[in-house]
Amino acid sequence: MANKDIKEIKFSIKRIYVKDSSFESPQAPKVFSDVTSAPKIGFNLNTNILNISDTSHEVTIEISVKAELENKVVYLAEIKQAGMFDIEGASGEIMQRFLNVNCLEIIFPYARENVSALIQKGGFPPLFLAPIDFNALFMQEIEKRKKKN
């Protein structure tokens, strides 16, 4: 027997898209013959959630990858991968879990592939970003907020 108090949650993906992408290799073409060791790779990830309406949301992952060798930038690849999602019947922590975990898990593989493709098209070996456990990050953020209160 179903509980009548539990609301049905409807989740749908409206669109997955690249909002912005950029690739720079300021030392090219010289860098291709000068590289004798592996560059140091720096990685940065940010997320942004924009509420379009009560049920429609844009979720964006911003990834920046910077390769440096001897304090010179070998390349800088940046992407903003976004998705539009409709979520009905969820609120509070359930809505936050959808936006900060489920939506990000859907978008991240696209962002990861696009970053690797940008780097390859710049003439460098592909970079394979490790999977990210967005659920663990979400739980850490909840714990951090509980400790502040």
Q: Which of 71, 62, 76 is nearest to 20 (CA)?
A: 62
**Superfamily covering domain 10-148:** SecB-like (3.10.420.10)
Domain boundaries, the chain: 10-148
Residue-level pLDDT, tens digit, the chain, 149 residues: 455 555 799 999 999 999 999 999 998 898 888 767 888 999 999 999 999 999 999 999 999 999 998 889 999 999 999 999 999 988 888 899 999 999 999 999 999 999 999 999 999 998 999 999 999 999 998 888 888 77
- HSE-CB at 71 with a 13 A cutoff on CA atoms is 0
| Backbone angle region of 70, left / alpha / beta, with phi > 0 → left and psi within -120 to 50 → alpha | left
